[in-house]
Amino acid sequence: MVSALQSAATLNPGNKPIITELVQRMGVDVDEGVEEGGAMPLYYALAAYNAQSVALLRSLGGEAGAVLRVGRA
């Protein structure tokens, strides 16, 4: 199952308010990986070639080395 933050990470540039709301106001872990295989929101942003989401997730504390919980990036 894909989380709201993972979905928002793939959206077009209008996603900044959604990601910010989820992380800062609702306390969602920026490095969460809820689906089988542990793909983090940053992984979804990278896979969608969404540089704005990548930068925003990094600025909110997303770890570049924590893209996949299984140890692959």
CATH number at residue 12: 1.25.40
pLDDT band at 66 (very low <50, low <70, confident <90, very high): low
pLDDT at 28: 92
Torsions phi, psi of 68, nearest 5? -125, 135
Q: What average pLDDT does this structure show over 33-41?
A: 70
Q: Is residue 50 part of a domain?
A: yes
Residue 19 predicted with pLDDT over 90: yes
Coil, strand or helix: which one is 68? Answer: strand
Q: pTM of the predicted model, to two decimals?
A: 0.80
Structural domain includes residue 18: yes
Task: Quote the number of domains for the chain.
Answer: 1
Q: Report the alpha-carbon distance of residue 6 to residue 18 in Å, rounded.
A: 11
